[in-house]
Amino acid sequence: MKKLMLGNEAIARGVYEAGATVATAYPGTPSTEITENIAKYDEIYSEWAPNEKVALEVAIGASIGGARAATAMKHVGLNVAADPLFTASYTGVNGGLVIFVADDPGMHSSQNEQDTRIIARGAKVPVIEPSDSQECKDFTKEAFRISEEFDTPVIVRLSTRVSHSQGIVELEDRENYVLKPYVKNPAKYVMMPAMARRRHISVEERMAKLREFAEKSLLNRIEWGNKKIGVITSGVAYQYAREAFGDVSYLKLGIVYPLPENLIKEFASQVETLYIIEELEPFIENQCRKMGLKVTGKDKLPVIGEYSAGLIKEKLLGETPEKLNDIQDEAPARPPVLCAGCPHRATFYVLKKLKLTVSGDIGCYTLGALAPLESVDTTICMGASVGVAHGLEKARGKEQSKKTVAVIGESTFIHSGITGLIDMVYNNCSGTVIILDNSITAMTGHQHNPTTGYNIKGEPVKKVDLAKLCQAIGVERVKVCDPFDLKKFEQIVKEEVAADELSVIIAQRSCALLKHVRFGPVLTINQDKCIKCRMCMRLGCPAIVDRGDHVEINSTQCAGCDLCPRVCRFNAIEKAGGRDE
Amino acid sequence: MNNTSILIVGVGGQGTLLASRILGDVALNSGLDVKVSEVHGMSQRGGSVVTYVKVGEKVYSPIIEKNEADIILCFEKLEALRWIDYAKKDAKIIINDQRIDPMPVITGKVKYPENIIEKIKANYKNVIVVPALEIAKKCGNIKAVNVVMIGVMARHSVFEKDIWVKAIEKTVKPQFLEVNLKAFEEGYNQAGI
């Protein structure tokens, strides 16, 4: 049977067909749909873990326990999981262990553009790279086999365009994988110096065997065409190269670490001009140069951003598209915005009004940095808002704390904000942390997390009580407030920022896009009452539009959340008759 | 290259993803190779969104580049202008005559460009303008704009009407099927085509 599948969906299918029984992940664009789709197979236990480190540790445990196990994350998630990764490389596996990591060249939804292959090389873990949905499924199954044959975790590296492109996939049956026996083996699984020294030798032996394997693996293939040009490439860059060059010769690498040096030399010896085409870092290229090959690559192609067939044509063949019009330049940008009805809008409105320094975090609320809310001062990585606020105080003194808050979503707080808050308690910080609790992991497309009370399958489970958690670690001032209650919320923020002790404010209000959230009728501006003070414009709501001579509410965009009437001092914003009035 | 390249552009939240799913299903049932490239995550939050659909004997790159699109399905006027460089000179450009102000316009920093459709018509000859929001409202749900647009495109495609209907039945949630089928029909029967 053939099906049109996202790369991520095809990965999930591959995990299923490989007979895996445990999958665990923390959501992160562009990797999220892997685990969402795995969760649809009842044969596989799946879960959202609090963060990528825990997810990988659970997968390692499942592998040691004899199951085929999978974990998925975005590129920056692998940084969080790097600690277990580097040592799981030493212990090796029992059941196959595959780690799916989705890079984001072009940073469609990320804070940096790092290249997973560099980390994998550091950890001495092999990397497999599919270039379309069919390969996503096929390579996943091969990855599990390689993991077991060579006693190693395997990384399958994806990119946004592979993860989020749909292609045709031929489905097959699920393998009947039998759980391997668990045998206590401290020499393999207890990594203290004496054992680890011996395991490091095994790692080096394994890498040598993998280098030999890469020479003959079917994942690396030569497609001979015109031999004037030869292209060594992998992943989605292969697709771009095929489109840009057409009938030339290709060495398409499915295993990008370790590289098949003899195959590369053989290919290079038969072509006149050799190009290396890979997104981000010159990973394959540097190795080729080290081997003494004359290649063209990053001397002409960028290490920044996504590639495309057009970019390759322009940089390597000197072909630029003809300009067919001169009107496109007039289009103003359309940056992403907080949705109409978003709870974060109220929070940032208050923070801006109070002119606070805001250390921000990763989630929808990062958009609070953009106009007109322009509230957020810093965004580094998951959980960093807390540590950054603490650091600001330690550098600039208690006075800084009286004009600073950290803002962090509830899921991000669970992910890696808790330890930062413990640091604040332990080291006597008087700062203020606002947990934006919108009852869901929103930005990645509504996943449950330990505070929502539901698991990945939507089944009710125990939930972490954020207020009790903060109290338990020693925060004495914990306040809970709905940010839409603007006056009260502003009052609480003022008090807590001014307090000499550490405080946590839980700003509690559900994401406007959640199904159970129901708003009233859409709003409209009574032009007779409106004095055009434009107070409502400060909310940065996509439904409130400045027409120059007046301000109006776009009824198609308005969610009816009822926030804007609360900032209007002239009662000019009223409920309209109905949704489609 | 005999691939057909279709660009679907709009504003996050307008349902471009669903439109591309329907289109992908139609292409799959035609027995041809197909790739659909989408954008998820941050840029979806009310930002400019684009989906690439490529159909043909063999599709390599999932993305469409400047001067390559045979059809551009524009869910919003400004987005039509933003992506117009991707159209071939003789491309079919189907534009929903709807205006959604981006934040820089809302805050008064820049003006929403005037006469977008006239400007596009002056440069490209196959431009079809559709009051998709009005039609969707008439059908009973403003969210059906995407399927109205699919209906207009279906009329101009080589695929039979019932293949489209089947794809909609397969893709749309049962509770919204009736209104979407009505929206498709209205789009398909648009006057002046």
CB contact under 8 A, B38 and A554: no
Chain A positions in Cβ-Cβ contact with residue B119 (cut-off 8 Å): 327
- Quick one: pLDDT at residue A217? 98
- Quick one: pLDDT at residue A503? 98
CB contact under 8 A, B113 and A330: yes
CB contact under 8 A, A2 and B120: no
CB contact under 8 A, B60 and A337: no
- Asked: is A343-508 a CATH 3.20.20.70 domain? The reply is no
State the architecture of A2-175+186-216 in CATH terms. 3-Layer(aba) Sandwich (3.40)
Alpha-carbon distances, residue A288 vs A170, A256, A273 (angstroms) = 35, 12, 14
CB contact under 8 A, A545 and B101: yes
Q: Let me know if A300 is exposed, middle or buried by CB neighbors in 10 A (0-12, 13-18, 19+).
A: exposed
Q: A399: distance to nearest CA of chain B, Å?
A: 33
Q: B188: distance to nearest CA of chain A, Å?
A: 24
Closest CB from B37, B120, B142 relative to A164: B37
- Quick one: pLDDT at residue A384? 98
User: Does the pLDDT at position A581 exceed 50?
Assistant: no
User: Does the pLDDT at position A55 exceed 50?
Assistant: yes
Q: A433: distance to nearest CA of chain B, Å?
A: 24
Q: What is the mean pLDDT of residues A301-310?
A: 97
Of the candidates A491, A374, A475, A376, the one whose C-alpha atom is nearest the C-alpha of residue A433 is A475
ipTM value of the model? 0.94
Of the candidates A451, A484, A506, the one whose C-alpha atom is nearest the C-alpha of residue A342 is A484
What is the dihedral sign for C-alpha B122, B128, B133, B138?
positive
Of the candidates B146, B129, B156, the one whose C-alpha atom is nearest the C-alpha of residue B16 is B146
* % of chain A residues with pLDDT over 90: 96
CA distance B11 to B112: 15
Starting at the edge strand found earlier in the chain, the sheet holding A127-128 runs A45-48, A22-25, A69-74, A97-103, A154-159, A127-128, A255-257
Q: B84: distance to nearest CA of chain A, Å?
A: 6
Greatest Cα-to-Cα distance within chain B, rounded to the nearest angstrom: 49
Q: Where in chain A is the domain with CATH 3.40.50.970?
A: 2-175+186-216, 343-508
Q: Which of A35, A327, A581 to mutate: most B Cβ within 10 Å?
A: A327
Closest CB from B37, B48, B112 relative to A165: B37
CB contact under 8 A, A164 and B40: yes
| Three-state secondary-structure class, residue A223 | strand
The pLDDT confidence band at residue A424, using thresholds 50, 70 and 90, is very high
- Chain centroid, CA A2 distance in Å: 29
CB contact under 8 A, A334 and B44: no
Please list, residue by residue across A58-89, b when 16 or more beta carbons sit within 10 angstroms of its beta carbon and e when fewer do. Answer: bbbebbbbbbbbbbbbbbbbbbbbbebbeebb
Q: Let me know if A224 is exposed, middle or buried by CB neighbors in 10 A (0-12, 13-18, 19+).
A: middle
CB contact under 8 A, B103 and A328: no
Alpha-carbon distances, residue A378 vs A418, A427, B42 (angstroms) = 19, 22, 17
Closest CB from A337, A548, A580 relative to B103: A337
Chain B positions in Cβ-Cβ contact with residue A337 (cut-off 8 Å): 45-47, 103
Chain B positions in Cβ-Cβ contact with residue A109 (cut-off 8 Å): 40-43
User: Does the pLDDT at position A349 exceed 90?
Assistant: yes
CATH topology of domain A221-317: Rossmann fold (3.40.50)
Q: What is the pLDDT of residues B26-59, one digit of tens each?
A: 999 888 999 999 877 666 678 899 999 999 999 9
Q: B22: distance to nearest CA of chain A, Å?
A: 11
Q: B159: distance to nearest CA of chain A, Å?
A: 18
Domain locations in chain B as residue ranges? 4-188
CB contact under 8 A, B38 and A164: yes
Q: At what angle do helices B161-171 and B145-155 cross, to 10 degrees?
A: 160
8 Å CB contact between A372 and A337: no
Q: B192: distance to nearest CA of chain A, Å?
A: 26
8 Å CB contact between A102 and A130: no
Chain B positions in Cβ-Cβ contact with residue A333 (cut-off 8 Å): 48, 102, 104
Q: What is the mean pLDDT of residues A100-122?
A: 97
CA distance A379 to A369: 9
User: Does the pLDDT at position A296 exceed 80?
Assistant: yes
What is the DSSP track for B129-183? Answer: EE-HHHHHHHHT-GGGHHHHHHHHHHHTSSS-HHHHHHHHHHHS-GGGHHHHHHH
- Quick one: pLDDT at residue B44? 67
8 Å CB contact between A45 and A175: no
Q: What is the mean pLDDT of residues A315-340?
A: 90
Residue A552 φ/ψ region, left for φ over 0, alpha for ψ in the -120 to 50 degree band, beta for the rest = beta
Long-range contacts of A385-389 (CB under 8 A, 24+ apart): A385/A359, A385/A360, A385/A361, A385/A412, A385/A417, A385/A420, A385/A433, A386/A359, A386/A413, A386/A417, A386/A420, A386/A421, A386/A423, A386/A424, A386/A433, A387/A420, A387/A423, A388/A359, A389/A359, A389/A424, A389/A429, A389/A431, A389/A432, A389/A433
The pLDDT confidence band at residue A454, using thresholds 50, 70 and 90, is very high
Residue entry with tokens 């660009």: B7
Q: What is the pLDDT of residues A56-105, one digit of tens each?
A: 999 999 999 999 999 999 999 999 999 999 999 999 999 999 999 999 99
8 Å CB contact between A373 and A337: no
* % of chain A residues with pLDDT over 70: 99
- Quick one: pLDDT at residue A580? 43
Chain A residue at shortest CA distance from B110: A332
Q: What is the mean pLDDT of residues A428-454?
A: 96
The pLDDT confidence band at residue A326, using thresholds 50, 70 and 90, is confident
Q: Which tokens in the block code for residue A510?
A: 């559900």
User: Does the pLDDT at position A4 exceed 70?
Assistant: yes
CB contact under 8 A, A540 and B103: yes
Distance linking the first and last C-alpha atoms of chain A: 47
Q: Which tokens in the block code for residue A577?
A: 């008759």
8 Å CB contact between A358 and A377: yes
For chain A, what is the mean pLDDT? Answer: 97
- Strand B4-11 and strand A573-575: the pairing is unpaired
CA distance A456 to A47: 6
- Quick one: pLDDT at residue B1? 47
- Quick one: pLDDT at residue A576? 86
Q: Which tokens in the block code for residue B45?
A: 């939050």
Find the radius of gyration of the CA atoms of chain A.
27
Cis peptide before A258 (omega within 30 of 0): yes
User: Does the pLDDT at position A329 exceed 90?
Assistant: no
CA distance A430 to A405: 10
CA distance A19 to B189: 49
Q: What is the mean pLDDT of residues A447-473?
A: 98
CB contact under 8 A, B103 and A339: no
- Quick one: pLDDT at residue A579? 43
Of the candidates A185, A163, A166, A171, the one whose C-alpha atom is nearest the C-alpha of residue A141 is A171
Q: What is the pLDDT of residues B100-135, one digit of tens each?
A: 999 999 888 899 999 999 999 999 999 999 999 999
The pLDDT confidence band at residue B2, using thresholds 50, 70 and 90, is confident
What is the DSSP track for B70-92? Answer: EEEEESSHHHHHHTGGGEEEEEE
Alpha-carbon distances, residue B133 vs A247, B48, B73, B143 (angstroms) = 46, 18, 14, 8
Q: What is the pLDDT of residues A351-406, one digit of tens each?
A: 999 999 999 999 999 999 999 999 999 999 999 999 999 999 999 999 999 999 99
Report residue B98: phi and psi, to 5°: -120, 145
- What's the CATH code, domain A523-575? 3.30.70.20
CB contact under 8 A, B82 and A328: yes
Distance linking the first and last C-alpha atoms of chain B: 28
Q: Where in chain A is the domain with CATH 3.40.50.920?
A: 221-317
Q: What is the pLDDT of residues A485-535, one digit of tens each?
A: 999 999 999 999 999 999 999 999 999 999 999 999 999 999 999 999 999
CATH topology of domain B4-188: Pyruvate-ferredoxin Oxidoreductase; domain 3 (3.40.920)
Please list, residue by residue across A103-115, b when 16 or more beta carbons sit within 10 angstroms of its beta carbon and e when fewer do. Answer: bbbbebbbeebbb
Q: Which tokens in the block code for residue B132?
A: 């998709």
The pLDDT confidence band at residue B158, using thresholds 50, 70 and 90, is confident
User: Does the pLDDT at position A38 exceed 90?
Assistant: yes
Chain A positions in Cβ-Cβ contact with residue B67 (cut-off 8 Å): 321-322, 324
- Quick one: pLDDT at residue A578? 46
Please give the sequence-ordered ranges of beta strands (E in DSSP) within A510-553, or none if there are none.
523-525, 544-546, 551-553
Find the radius of gyration of the CA atoms of chain B.
16
- Quick one: pLDDT at residue B45? 75
Q: What is the mean pLDDT of residues B128-146?
A: 95
| Three-state secondary-structure class, residue A258 | coil
